[in-house]
Amino acid sequence: MPAREHLLHKIRTALGRSAGQPVPAAPAALLDLPPMDPGERLSRMLERFPGQTFRAAGPAEARDHVAGLIGARRAVASPAPLLEQLGILALPGVQAVSGEPAQVREACAAAEVGITTADYGLADTGALVALAAGTESRLASLLPPVHIAVLPADRILTGLGELFTILPDPGALSSSMVLIGGPSRTADIEQILTLGVHGPRELHLVCLVDQK
């Protein structure tokens, strides 16, 4: 018996199956949705987010905090409706990036701070969920060394189980779904941890409790 067939025979035997037997249907996914009230979701998100966090009571606090983080540095921002509503796109030194890909890439590469929104937050891990969209530039969250994400508190979910309950087929809505679980880091070179190689080395989360 050829080596390949011998290996497949051993696998089938271990699974209790025979050659040519139809593959059984996959079992239904079991999604764990533990009960968690909004206040607990917010506190866990702020506690577990792998970066600096700020709880903004309203738009003015959110805008002023972002302005303080930017300081005198050059910043780019996604032209997201929420950022416009909060007045962040009108802050001095902030450039809203959209349009020609080459120009967006050039602006994001030259900026020191990138500002975006996040679609969801996951309270159990503190990760952010970002879906690619026309109003969100992925480069604004990847190229500048500092990334500021603005997240409404009512978009915080318990975890991945709830996310996939809400979005069972993310690929039908977006070309990309990214989970942001901390600053870019790698230890590929002699196991020495280095930050900022493949993305921002500094993350800030602004949680907006009240959008009015």
The pTM (predicted TM-score) of the whole model is 0.80
What pLDDT, on a 0 to 100 scale, did the predictor assign at position 202?
92
Separation in Å, CA 158 to CA 29, 32, 127, 179: 17, 9, 11, 14
Task: Show the tokens assigned to 101.
Answer: 């890909």
Residue 74, domain member (yes or no): yes
CB 147 within 8 Å of CB 200: yes
Q: DSSP of 148-199, one letter per residue? A: EEEEEGGGEESSHHHHHHH-S-GGGT-S-EEEE-SS-EE-TTTT--EESSSS
Residue 8, domain member (yes or no): no
100 or 119: whose pLDDT is higher?
119
Residue 67, domain member (yes or no): yes
Residue 176, domain member (yes or no): yes
What pLDDT, on a 0 to 100 scale, did the predictor assign at position 137?
75
Proportion of the chain above pLDDT 90, given as a percent: 53
Domain that holds residue 44: 36-208
**For the chain, percent helix, then strand, then coil, each to nearest 5?**
35, 25, 40
Closest CA to 78 of 121, 142, 128: 142
pLDDT, tens only, 133-162: 767 778 888 899 999 999 999 999 999 889
DSSP 8-state secondary structure symbol assigned to residue 23: P
pLDDT, tens only, 155-205: 999 998 899 888 888 888 888 888 988 776 555 666 665 555 566 889 999
Residue 186, domain CATH: 3.40.50.10420
